[in-house]
Chain A
Amino acid sequence: MSGKVIKVSGPLVVAEGLKDANVADVVRVGEMGLMGEILNMTGDRASIQVYEETSGLGPGARVETTGYPMSVELGPGMLESIYDGIQRPLTEIMRVSGDTIARGISVPALSRDKKWDFKPVVVKGARLEGGDIIGTVQETAPIEHRIMIPPTLSGTLEDIREGSFTVDEVVATLRAEDGTLHEIKMAQRWPVRVARPYRRKFVPSEPLMSGQRIIDTLFPLAKGGTAAVPGPFGSGKTVVQHQLAKWTDVDVVIYIGCGERGNEMTDVLNEFPELIDPYNGEPLMKRTVLIANTSDMPVAAREASIYTGITIAEYFRDMGHDVAVIADSTSRWAEALREMSGRLEEMPGEEGYPAYLASRIAQFYERAGIVECAGSDGRRGSITAIGAVSPPGGDLSEPVSQGTMRIVKVFWSLDSNLAYARHFPAINWLTSYSLYTSNLTPWYKENGFEDFLADRERTLSILQEESALNEIVRLVGRDSLGAADQLTLETAKMIREDFLQQNAFVDVDNYSSVERQAKLLRIIIELDKQGRKALEDGASMEGLFAIGVRERIGRAKYVPDDAYDEEYRAISRQAAEEIAELVAAGGENR
C-alpha cells in the first residue's frame, strides 16, 4: 500500500492515499526509504513521524506502509551490541557509512551470518505454551540465552533440532491446536509499544545491590523496582547512571542513552569491555546492551529509543533473568514527545508538553516489576527501571519531574551544592527517599543484617539532627552547642566524608559490597555511641575529636577488598583503646 507526501515539517510528514494503513504502522518514506511511524489518521491522511532527517523530502514523494507496527528483533546477538533508537546496530552502520550516520540505511539488528549453538531442552511431542523455553544458546560467557515459544503461540512440538544455526534458520516446528504448523526460529519480533505478557506480578522484596554506599545503605532499590535520579547539570547524574550500569547485581543491563552526549556512549563502549563484573568475573560488556540516540541524532528516534530498550529488557526478563533498564535521560524523551506534539498542533498542557505526558511516563515505569514469566515452569524474572531526569534549571516543579516522582518509588535527588564541594555521589540525604525500605526489611533480617537496619535508622537521624544543628551554628556559632551536639556534628561529618562519599574514579572505592558497607557503618555508629558514653564519663570533648582513629577511619574505604576485614577489626580495637584512655585521663582530672 502506498501513498503520497503532501506536507513536510521537520520530522513530521503528512501523506495521503493511505486509508488502509493502521495507526502505529511503520512506513518507508521517499526514495531513500526513510523509516517512520504513523501517529494519526484523518480520512486517508496519515501524520507520520520520521525517524531520520527529512531534508530533501517534498510533496509527491512515495510513502509505503509495511503493515507492521514498530517492532524490535529479539534473539541471540543483542548483548555487547550498540543500537540506535530504532534498533539499527551502530557498529554495522559504521561499516556501511563511515564515521557519520547516513540516511535510509537498513541493517538487520541481529547478524544473519553468525551461527549459534542451540541446545534443546524439550523433546518432540511436548505440549508447549507461549513463553515456554525450548532450548538454550550460550550467548556470552555469563548469559544463557533461552529460546522461547513466542507469547502468542502454543501447541505440540513436531520437531526440534540440535546444532549450529543462524537466527534465520528453523530450529523447531510447533503444531497449534487448530492444526497449523509454525516454524520456530531463534529470533522473534515484538512491537515495542506493547508490553510483553507475563503470568503475574509480585511486590518487590529483594534489594538490588549497587555497590554504592549511599544507595544500598540509605536509599535502597528493590529488584523489580523503579527509581529516578533528578539533578541539575553537572551534578553527576551520568556518573551515577554509569555506576549503576556497572555494579548492580542483575544478569543483564540495558543502557539507553537518550538524547545525551555521544562521548558518554563512547565511554561505555571503551570502558565496559575492560571492567570485570564482581558477581561473575566476566567483562561487564558481556551482559550489556546499549541503545544510543545521542542528542545530535534525529529527535523522533529518541521517542522510540525508550520503548526499544524496555522491550529488549522484557525479552530477557521473560527468560527468567534479572534485568536493569537505565535510561539517561527521560527528560530528553519527553522533549521529543513535546516536539512531535507541537508539530501535530495538539493543544499543549503544562510548559508545552502534551497532556498525555504523565500517562506515558507512568506506562514506561509500569513495565518494570518482578513477575512470574509467561510459560509453564513458573520461573521469575525482573526488570528494574532507573531513569535520569534533567529538570530545567534544576527546578523539580516541572512536568517531567513531577510526572516521574508520582510513579517511582526511589528518588535519588542530586544536589549541585554537594557537587560544587566535590561530594560525590552528590545524592542529597535529606531530600532523597526510598519507599522500599519496609518491603526489604524481612530480607535484611533473614540475611543477618539486623544491626545494619538499626545503624541505618541511626545514620539518618544523625544527618537530620546535623541539618537542624547547622541552623543554630549559623546563628550563634558552634561553641554555644553542648558537647553531645558537637559530637553529633562530628559524627555526621564522618558519615558524610568517610562513608557517603564514594569515588567512582578510584578502583578500590568504585564498588563496595553490602557486607563491607555494613561493617564500615558499624564502626562509625559504634564510635559515636562510645563517644557519647565517654563524654558522660568525663572524657574531654577536644580529646575525643582528636583521637587518631578518626583519620584511620577516613582512609578505611581505600583499603583493598582482601584486607578490609582485618583493618576494620583493628580500627574497632584502636577506637575502644583510645576512648578508654580518654575516659581514664578525664576521670583523673575530675
Chain B
Amino acid sequence: MIREYKTIREIASPLMIVRGVEGVSYDEMAEIELPSGEIRRGKVLEVDGDKAIVQLFEDARGINLAESKVRFLGKPLELAVSGDMLGRVFNGMGEPIDGGPAILPEEKRDVNGLAMNPAARAYPAEFIQTGVSTIDGLNTLVRGQKLPIFSGSGLPHKELAAQIARQSKVLGSEESFAVVFAAIGITFEESEFFIQDFRRTGAIDRTVVFSNLANDPAIERISTPRMALTAAEYLAFDMDMHVLVIMTDITNYAEALREVSAAKKEVPGRRGYPGYLYTDLATLYERAGRRRSKKGSITLIPILTMPEDDKTHPIPDLTGYITEGQIILSRELYRKAIAPPVDVLPSLSRLKDKGIGEGKTREDHAGTMNQLFAAYARGKDAKELMTILGESALTETDKLYAKFAEEFEQRYVNQSYETDRSIEETLNLGWELLKILPRAELKRIKEEHIDRYLGAEAQ
C-alpha cells in the first residue's frame, strides 16, 4: 500500500514533519516529490500518532510545503545487490554514477543489516601480509578484523590505506578477493587518489566504490557506509569473496550523525555527539568478520582523522573501544620523513595473537614482537632523558636502547609506500635491530629462538 500525503507541516533541514499520516511505521522509507517532479528521499525517525518525523537524505532546498507530496514506501532503505556491482561507482544512496546501466539486482537488501549471532561467527585467525613491517610484525592484521587507521589532518593515511589495499595477501592462497571503498564526505582529490591507485594495479575491476564527496549532501553520509557494508556482505557471504572494506572518513560520518541529532533536539553526549554514537558506530564496525558457515570474509579498515590529533576525542575513542585495535599515525614521525609514520607504541592489533606464530608466520614472531615494543618504549624514554640531561646521564645499557630506538624508526618503521616486505624480511629485520642490545636484555624471547635467530656473532 503506497500512501501519499500533501501535509508537510514543517521543514527544518534535515528533518521534516508530516501530519495526518496513517499506517506509517518507524524506519520506513519516504519519497518526497517536488512540484518539478524531482524525487528526494528520507526515512521515518519517529511516528507519534498522526505525526511522522522524517529525516531527509538529501538537500531540503526547493521543497515546498504546499505543493510537495510525500509517499511512504512501507520498506526500509534498500540496496540492489548483484555480482555486477564489481567495477562500478555508486553515490551514497547506492545509485550508479559512472554513466553505466542500472544494476539488475539479484536481491534487494535492507542496508541496516541484522546483528550477527556471536555463536555463528568464526574467530579471525588468518594472517594477512600487508607488506608493511609495522603492521605485519607488530600489529598483525588478520582476515575478518576491523582495524582502523587513526590519522590527523594532513597525515598520509590515504597512502598507507592504498598500500594495504594493494599489497595485502594471504600467504599460500589464491582465493577471490574484492575491495569495497566508501568515500564519506572526502574531497574529490582524495577519492580520486584511491580510484587511480586501484586502476593502476588493476584492482578496479574487483572494486565497488560508494562515493559521497565533500560537496554531496552531508545527510547522505549516514547511509553511505551502510550501503558499502551491505554490498560487502553480499560479496563475502553470498559470493564467497574475501572483501576488504576501506571507509574514509568516519569523522565526517559522525558529524552528519551529530547534525541529525541536533536537529531532533536530543540531549547531547560528549562534544555534542549523540549518546548513541557508540551503538551507531558499532552497528557499522561489527558487520566485519567471518562466519562459520561461509567461506568469505569482511576485513574492515575505517579511516578517521582525529580532531587536533586528540585520541580521546569521542570519535577515535569510541571507535577504539569497538574495533579490534588501531593503527595510529604520528605527526612527529611524519616530520622526520618516516613513511609510513606509524606511531608504533599506541597502535595495536587485538587479534594478532591468534594470527601469528608457527605455521602462520614464524615461531619467533610473538617473542620478538613483544621485545621490540618493550625495547622501543624504553629507548624512547632514554632518548627523552638524553635531550634533557645529555648523553652522559645515561647508563651504558640505556645508550644502547636510545640507539636502538633511532635505528628502529629509521629502518623498521620507515620503508616507503612502495616497498612490499615479506613477513620473513620483517622478522629478520627485527632480529638485526635486536642485535644492538645485550643478549641478557632479551627476556621476552625464548632462549631457543635467540640461539636460532640471533646468530653467533652476537654477544
| Chain A residues in the interface with B (C-beta under 8 A) | 6-10, 14, 53-60, 82, 90-91, 93-94, 97-102, 232-234, 238, 257, 259, 261-263, 265-267, 269-270, 292, 294-299, 332, 335, 338-339, 342, 348, 351-352, 390, 392-395, 416, 419-423, 473-474, 476-479, 497-498, 503, 505, 550-551, 554-555, 558
> Which residue of chain B lies nearest to A56 when distances are taken between CB atoms in the complex?
B25
> Which residue of chain B lies nearest to A6 when distances are taken between CB atoms in the complex?
B49
The interface residues of chain B lying within 8 Å CB-to-CB of A421 are: 345, 373-374, 377-378
Nearest first, the 6 closest Cβ-Cβ pairs linking A and B are A393-B312, A58-B25, A55-B27, A295-B282, A477-B393, A233-B320
Contact yes or no, B317 A420, CB < 8 A: no
The interface residues of chain B lying within 8 Å CB-to-CB of A554 are: 443
Asked whether B114 is an interface residue with its Cβ less than 8 Å from the other chain, the reply is yes
Contact yes or no, B26 A8, CB < 8 A: yes
Cα(A10)–Cα(B395), bound, Å: 62
Contact yes or no, A339 B279, CB < 8 A: yes
Cα(A395)–Cα(B326), bound, Å: 19
Asked whether B370 is an interface residue with its Cβ less than 8 Å from the other chain, the reply is yes
Cα(A82)–Cα(B121), bound, Å: 13
Contact yes or no, A390 B45, CB < 8 A: no
Asked whether B293 is an interface residue with its Cβ less than 8 Å from the other chain, the reply is yes
The 0/1 profile, CB within 8 Å of A marked 1, for residues 36-51 of chain B is 0000000001111110
A50 to nearest B CB, angstroms? 10
Asked whether B338 is an interface residue with its Cβ less than 8 Å from the other chain, the reply is no
Contact yes or no, A261 B312, CB < 8 A: no
Contact yes or no, A266 B24, CB < 8 A: no
The interface residues of chain A lying within 8 Å CB-to-CB of B313 are: 393
Cα(A262)–Cα(B122), bound, Å: 10
Contact yes or no, A342 B266, CB < 8 A: yes
A527 to nearest B CB, angstroms? 16
The interface residues of chain A lying within 8 Å CB-to-CB of B105 are: none
Contact yes or no, B119 A261, CB < 8 A: no
B275 in complex: contacting residue of A7, A265, A338, CB < 8 Å: A338
B48 in complex: contacting residue of A7, A335, A551, CB < 8 Å: A7
| With A101-B114, A351-B270 as contacts: A555 and B24 at CB distance below 8 Å | no
> Which residue of chain B lies nearest to A16 when distances are taken between CB atoms in the complex?
B49
Contact yes or no, A292 B118, CB < 8 A: yes
Q: Please name 15 further chain A to chain B contacts, defined as beta carbons within 8 Å, in addition to the given A56-B28, A269-B119, sorted by A numbering.
A: A10-B26, A54-B27, A56-B26, A59-B22, A59-B49, A93-B117, A94-B117, A100-B113, A101-B114, A234-B346, A261-B324, A295-B286, A342-B275, A420-B373, A421-B377
B residues 107-127 in Cβ contact with A at 8 Å? 112-124
* Chain B interface residue number, banded: 35 or more
Cα(A292)–Cα(B287), bound, Å: 16
Contact yes or no, A98 B120, CB < 8 A: yes
Contact yes or no, B286 A332, CB < 8 A: no
B370 in complex: contacting residue of A58, A262, A422, CB < 8 Å: A422
B residues 317-351 in Cβ contact with A at 8 Å? 317-318, 320-322, 324-326, 345-346, 348, 350-351
Cα(A395)–Cα(B24), bound, Å: 43
Cα(A474)–Cα(B393), bound, Å: 10
B123 in complex: contacting residue of A99, A270, A296, A339, CB < 8 Å: A270
Cα(A505)–Cα(B285), bound, Å: 26
Cα(A533)–Cα(B130), bound, Å: 54
Contact yes or no, B443 A82, CB < 8 A: no
Asked whether B268 is an interface residue with its Cβ less than 8 Å from the other chain, the reply is yes
Cα(A295)–Cα(B373), bound, Å: 30
Contact yes or no, B393 A478, CB < 8 A: yes
The interface residues of chain A lying within 8 Å CB-to-CB of B27 are: 54-56
Cα(A85)–Cα(B120), bound, Å: 17
> Which residue of chain B lies nearest to A90 when distances are taken between CB atoms in the complex?
B119
A99 in complex: contacting residue of B45, B286, B291, CB < 8 Å: B291
A246 to nearest B CB, angstroms? 15
A339 in complex: contacting residue of B45, B275, B321, B366, CB < 8 Å: B275
Contact yes or no, A57 B346, CB < 8 A: no
Contact yes or no, A416 B346, CB < 8 A: yes
Cα(A232)–Cα(B389), bound, Å: 32
B residues 1-53 in Cβ contact with A at 8 Å? 22-28, 45-50
Contact yes or no, A58 B23, CB < 8 A: yes
Cα(A91)–Cα(B119), bound, Å: 6
B327 to nearest A CB, angstroms? 12
B330 to nearest A CB, angstroms? 12
A81 to nearest B CB, angstroms? 10
Contact yes or no, B118 A339, CB < 8 A: no
B residues 414-447 in Cβ contact with A at 8 Å? 440, 443-444, 446-447
Cα(A342)–Cα(B46), bound, Å: 14
B residues 349-389 in Cβ contact with A at 8 Å? 350-351, 353, 366, 370, 373-374, 377-378, 385, 388-389
> Which residue of chain A lies nearest to B120 when distances are taken between CB atoms in the complex?
A99
B179 to nearest A CB, angstroms? 22
Asked whether B283 is an interface residue with its Cβ less than 8 Å from the other chain, the reply is yes
B321 to nearest A CB, angstroms? 5
Contact yes or no, B312 A392, CB < 8 A: yes
Contact yes or no, B47 A294, CB < 8 A: no
Contact yes or no, A99 B237, CB < 8 A: yes
Cα(A259)–Cα(B280), bound, Å: 12
The interface residues of chain A lying within 8 Å CB-to-CB of B389 are: 476-477
List 6 contacting pairs A-B, 8 Å CB cutoff, sorted by A.
A60-B22, A93-B119, A266-B119, A392-B270, A497-B443, A551-B443
The interface residues of chain A lying within 8 Å CB-to-CB of B113 are: 100
Contact yes or no, A551 B440, CB < 8 A: yes
The interface residues of chain B lying within 8 Å CB-to-CB of A55 are: 25-28, 76, 112
B317 in complex: contacting residue of A335, A393, A478, CB < 8 Å: A393
| With A269-B119, A295-B282, A479-B393 as contacts: A58 and B24 at CB distance below 8 Å | yes
Contact yes or no, A420 B345, CB < 8 A: yes
Cα(A101)–Cα(B24), bound, Å: 25
A266 to nearest B CB, angstroms? 4
> Which residue of chain B lies nearest to A294 when distances are taken between CB atoms in the complex?
B118
| With A90-B117, A352-B267, A474-B385 as contacts: A259 and B282 at CB distance below 8 Å | yes
Contact yes or no, B114 A100, CB < 8 A: yes
Give the most central of B120, B313, B392: most A CB within 10 Å. Answer: B120
Cα(A295)–Cα(B284), bound, Å: 10
Contact yes or no, A263 B123, CB < 8 A: yes
| With A100-B114, A263-B123 as contacts: A342 and B267 at CB distance below 8 Å | yes
B residues 275-329 in Cβ contact with A at 8 Å? 275-276, 278-279, 282-283, 285-287, 289, 291, 293-294, 311-314, 317-318, 320-322, 324-326
The interface residues of chain B lying within 8 Å CB-to-CB of A238 are: 350
Cα(A298)–Cα(B114), bound, Å: 10
Contact yes or no, B118 A262, CB < 8 A: yes
Asked whether B202 is an interface residue with its Cβ less than 8 Å from the other chain, the reply is no
Cα(A497)–Cα(B443), bound, Å: 9
Asked whether B455 is an interface residue with its Cβ less than 8 Å from the other chain, the reply is no
Contact yes or no, B275 A335, CB < 8 A: yes
Contact yes or no, A57 B114, CB < 8 A: no
> Which residue of chain B lies nearest to A52 when distances are taken between CB atoms in the complex?
B115
A294 in complex: contacting residue of B46, B267, B286, B314, CB < 8 Å: B286
Cα(A93)–Cα(B317), bound, Å: 33
The interface residues of chain B lying within 8 Å CB-to-CB of A550 are: 440
| With A7-B48, A335-B279, A505-B353 as contacts: A60 and B122 at CB distance below 8 Å | no
Cα(A299)–Cα(B286), bound, Å: 14
Contact yes or no, B26 A263, CB < 8 A: no
Contact yes or no, A7 B49, CB < 8 A: yes
Contact yes or no, A335 B278, CB < 8 A: yes
The interface residues of chain B lying within 8 Å CB-to-CB of A332 are: 278
| With A335-B279, A392-B312, A395-B312 as contacts: A94 and B120 at CB distance below 8 Å | yes
Give the most central of B50, B285, B322, B443: most A CB within 10 Å. Answer: B443
Cα(A259)–Cα(B283), bound, Å: 11
Cα(A524)–Cα(B267), bound, Å: 54
Give the most central of B76, B293, B322, B392: most A CB within 10 Å. Answer: B322
The interface residues of chain B lying within 8 Å CB-to-CB of A551 are: 440, 443
> Which residue of chain B lies nearest to A479 when distances are taken between CB atoms in the complex?
B393
> Which residue of chain A lies nearest to B357 when distances are taken between CB atoms in the complex?
A505
Contact yes or no, A267 B25, CB < 8 A: no
